[in-house]
Amino acid sequence: MLILHLSDIHFSAPDCKSPEDDPETPIRRLLINSALRQAGLLNRKIDAIAITGDIANSADPDEYAAALTWLDEMINQFGLSRSDVMVVPGNHDISRSACKSESVRSVHNSLKSTGSAIADEFKRKAKDTESAAFLMRPLAAYNQFAANFQCEISLPMAQRWKRRWELGDSVELCVYGLTSTFLSQCNGDNDQKGQLFVSPNQLVFDPIDNVIYMSMCHHPPSWFSDERTVEEEIRNGAHIQLFGHEHWLKPESYPQSIRLCAGSLNPSRREAGYDPGFSLIGLDVETTGTTRWLKVSMWSYRLQPSPRKFILNPMDDDESAFTRTFLVRGQGPSPSEADEKTIREQSPQNGVLDVPLLGSIPFASKSNNEAIRDALSAEDAYDIYMTMPVKQSIEIASALDLRGADDFLLSSLDQCRRVWERARDRGMTSKLISAIQDHQEGA
């Protein structure tokens, strides 16, 4: 699956009402052509478009009308439909004039004054018809636009939307679009870090086998009053996290998740470091027997001023893509008897990994007289290895000759991931898991 990730497009009235006179039109046109070309160079087609907020500049209905026309042109050229587009609101998608009205200001200020009790007070106001209407009023124009893509929101229940995609080998991608703007532009003022709010109901990611979660949110966690809670819930719940707002194109990785922050497609030309950009995100399931791995790749592109074109921006050790691989929790479908026979007859040297076909990975006993140990699942072994002290993880990798000469240049998390990737590629996954279990039992 290949996703085009855009953010902070900022369609601005009155210019956007006349595309031929809008200074941003050439860049938006260039984006469509570049995304198509780059996808072709990757031997892929774009399957979905994810926009993490700030579609408009001032929540003007004319801005959304222009955005819809542009997106319709894009999805037509990509061979997609509107159901393949996913959007969430940003602070520029909030009507400042609505936020300045006395009724909306009253609800906003009442919520902000509750401090640590804001979650309970928000739940109460979301259930109150009048208060909910005031909270939704600044989002009226955005919501009408988002309804074209089945991404509209409402209170109290539909504060986030959900979309599902099949990735193959019984692995499903579940995307949640989060709303970070219920307290945005309070009193018509600019947002400040640590002042926004996202309800706990939006941060639930049920850890179901064979499901990969992706979250889309405009504001990164540092913008919320309960930053620590938001950070922990999203980092631990969503395997892939897409953010916008800060106009800084960067990837970050954690033990079992990856965060991809978008640049702005159309930042203000008065902005220091004016740097339009976009990203392509590849999601690939790699399977050995019933063990599945999700490979996440991010290709980023920045606008070259002259000659004007989007160029690939190297992201990771001068490689073209920032790539991370994660273990998919759960068991894949059992291979056929013929597939099993083929795999058994192949050796690791011939490129077949030694991950067993069924269930968790069994371990041989230390002696003929010793009972076979309880099997340690690949998922549990991966989690243990990614969180054990660095010295111990290095000792295990070194004993199996799974360390690379340049690993010391990487973060500890990336070193651990490289070890697992080498074990997989060399047919040594079960040996690595066995070594991890030996360490656990000897600890």
Local structure of residue 159 (DSSP, 8 states): S
pLDDT surpasses 70 at 401:
yes
- Asked whether residue 173 carries a pLDDT value surpassing 90, the answer given is yes
% the chain with pLDDT above 70: 89
Which domain-ending residue is among 300, 327, 354?
327
The number of distinct structural domains making up the chain is 2
- pLDDT band for position 255 (cuts 50, 70, 90): confident
Question: Helices (H) and strands (E) in the chain — how many of each?
Answer: 13, 13
Query: Looking at the structure, do residues 75 and 174 belong to the same domain, yes or no?
Result: yes
Whether 366 shows a pLDDT value over 90: the answer reads no
Domain boundary among 280, 309, 327: 327
pLDDT in tens, 7-21: 999 999 999 999 999
Do 73 and 222 lie in one domain? The reply is: yes
Query: Can you tell me the distance from the alpha carbon of 222 to that of 116, in angstroms, rounded to the nearest whole number?
Result: 16
Q: What is the pLDDT of residue 441?
A: 78
Average pLDDT, the chain: 86
- Asked if the structure places residue 47 within a domain, the reply is yes
Average pLDDT over residues 278-285: 95
Residue 237 has pLDDT above 80, yes or no: yes
Instruction: Clarify whether residues 292 and 236 are in a common domain.
Output: yes
412-422 mean pLDDT:
82
Q: Which tops the pLDDT comparison, 440 or 166?
A: 166
Is 9 strand, coil or helix?
coil
Report the distance separating Cα 337 and Cα 346, nearest Å.
14
- Shared domain check, 309 and 389: no
Neighbours of 229 (CB within 10 A): 15
> Do 190 and 56 fall into the same domain?
yes
**405 contacts: CB under 8 Å, gap ≥ 6:** none
**With 80 as the cut, is the pLDDT of residue 349 above it?**
no
Burial category of 117 from C-beta neighbours within 10 Å (exposed 0-12, middle 13-18, buried 19 and up): exposed
| Mean per-residue pLDDT, 397-410 | 83
Does residue 111 form part of some domain?
yes
- Per the domain annotation, does 39 fall within a domain? yes
**C-alpha–C-alpha distance, residues 341 and 39, integer Å:** 37
Strands of the sheet containing 250-254, edge to edge, are 161-168, 171-177, 211-217, 240-243, 257-261, 250-254
290 contact partners, CB below 8 Å, separation of at least 6? 331, 332, 333, 334, 335, 356, 357, 358, 359
Owning domain of residue 355: 337-442
Radius of gyration from C-alpha coordinates of the chain:
24
Instruction: Tell whether 161 is covered by a domain.
Output: yes
> Is pTM beyond 0.85 here?
no
When pLDDT is cut at 50, 70 and 90, the band that residue 174 belongs to is very high
* 98 confidence band (pLDDT: 50, 70, 90): very high
Rounded Cα–Cα distance for residues 105 and 86 (Å)? 29
Domain of 165: which CATH number?
A: 3.60.21.10
Q: Which pLDDT value is given to residue 354?
A: 37
Residues 155 and 68 both lie in one domain: yes
Same-domain status, 393 and 316: no
Q: How far apart are CA 429 and CA 221, in angstroms?
A: 35
Task: Compare 368 and 95 and report the one with higher pLDDT.
Answer: 95
Same-domain check for residues 54 and 86:
yes
In contact, 296 and 290? CB cutoff 8 Å: no
Query: Would you state the pLDDT for residue 266?
Result: 86
Residue 332 within any structural domain of the chain: no
pLDDT tens-place string over residues 369-390: 343 455 577 778 888 888 888 8
- Residue 350 pLDDT grade (very low, low, confident, very high; cuts 50, 70, 90): very low
First to last CA, the chain: 41
In this structure, what token pair is assigned to residue 75? 């999805």
Of the three residues 296, 327, 358, the one that is the final residue of a domain is 327
